[in-house]
């Protein structure tokens, strides 16, 4: 028996809960939101597909009732507000930091052994904040961003290759932002062959650029942030944890000297299993990649300073 809580029943949180439920990843799922009726309504809507899709997972929705989350094995935190017209970057971070801080503190009162998966934005900084306010072991806090970015990278590669995305390997490290993520072209392959043997430099440069602005591109098209892929990425992490899959995924992790960085949460390859982050995997970066990673870390640090910890 396994229990998962998803905090935030907006588009991303509800999508995550929907996938967890339909794919039977956990036996019990709790969807929580501060807005009256939203979590209850979405949970009910999803559960009304059980007779159509044949799943036995139990999903319930609650308005701010954290007692219902007790005993959760994994908690996915999607809470926060999007940036609104006229809102400064500092104001956005201040508002979301307050939300994430209060959510994680209350969650741990009811589920002290839970592994936390952070999706709230700005994701690297919110993951860092969670470490600082909870002081949990670093294996128990996982930022989702790099998993989403890597999936977008594989999608862009598959389009250029006219290939199935499931047959393409690609990994993105660094910060979860348009200027901070680093698609590692050197490690990208299609059915074992380096993509650099199959695609020209101009095409690969375009793929890197399109990957880096993947979120902004969708926001421009949709008029709001994406939710299907982010929600699926969150569920993917939960699956890797609960089923002890030992998958190597890019996740936002607290570094303590790895990749030449310390006291920072940023996307690196990690092995994920039942205890959360079980290992930070050392991909041997070349000099150019090391320089890009160092630059990315500095940008993330500048955002972290806005927390005023």
Residues with a known catalytic role:
176
265 and 231 Cβ atoms separated by less than 8 Å:
no
d(CA 293, CA 267): 10
d(CA 68, CA 252): 28
Record the tokens describing residue 246, joined without a space.
């030992």
Record the tokens describing residue 269, joined without a space.
């390859």
The separation between CA 140 and the C-alpha centre of its own chain, rounded to angstroms, equals: 14
Hey, how many other C-beta atoms are within 10 angstroms of the C-beta on 164? 10
State the DSSP code for 120: P
Strand pairing partners for 48? Answer: none
**Would you say the C-alpha torsion 279, 186, 180, 78 has a positive or negative sign?**
negative
Q: Which residue, chain included where needed, has tokens 């006291």?
A: 263
Overall size of the chain counted in residues: 309
State the DSSP code for 180: T
Between strands 262-273 and 247-256, the pairing is antiparallel
d(CA 28, CA 299): 39
């Amino acid at each position: 028996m396994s229990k998962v809580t998803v905090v935030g029943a907006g588009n991303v949180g509800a999508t995550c809960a929907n996938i967890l439920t339909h794919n039977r990843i956990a036996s019990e799922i709790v969807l929580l939101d501060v807005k009256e009726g939203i979590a209850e309504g979405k949970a009910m809507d999803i559960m009304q597909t059980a007779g159509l899709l044949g799943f036995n997972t139990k999903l319930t929705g609650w308005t701010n009732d954290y007692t219902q989350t007790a005993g959760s094995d994994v908690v996915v935190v999607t809470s926060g507000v999007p940036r609104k017209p006229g809102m400064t970057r500092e104001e956005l971070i201040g508002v979301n930091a307050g939300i994430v801080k209060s959510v994680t503190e209350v969650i741990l009162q009811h589920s002290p052994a839970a592994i936390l998966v952070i999706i709230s934005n700005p994701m690297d900084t919110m993951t860092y904040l969670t470490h600082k306010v909870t002081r949990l072991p670093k294996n128990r806090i996982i930022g989702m961003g790099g998993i989403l970015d890597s999936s977008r990278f594989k999608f862009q590669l598959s389009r250029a290759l006219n290939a199935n995305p499931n047959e393409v390997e690609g990994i993105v490290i660094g910060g979860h932002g348009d200027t901070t993520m680093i698609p590692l072209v050197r490690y990208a392959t299609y059915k074992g062959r380096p993509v650099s043997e199959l695609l020209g430099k101009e095409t690969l440069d375009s793929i890197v650029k399109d990957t880096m602005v993947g979120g902004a591109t969708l926001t421009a098209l949709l008029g709001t942030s994406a939710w299907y892929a982010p929600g699926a990425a969150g569920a993917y992490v939960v699956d890797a944890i609960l089923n002890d899959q030992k998958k190597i995924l890019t996740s936002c992790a607290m570094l303590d000297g790895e990749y030449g960085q310390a006291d920072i949460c940023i996307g690196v390859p990690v092995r994920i299993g039942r205890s959360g982050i079980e290992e930070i995997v050392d991909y041997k970066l070349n000099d150019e990649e090391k320089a890009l990673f160092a630059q990315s870390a500095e940008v993330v640090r500048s955002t972290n300073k806005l927390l005023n910890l």
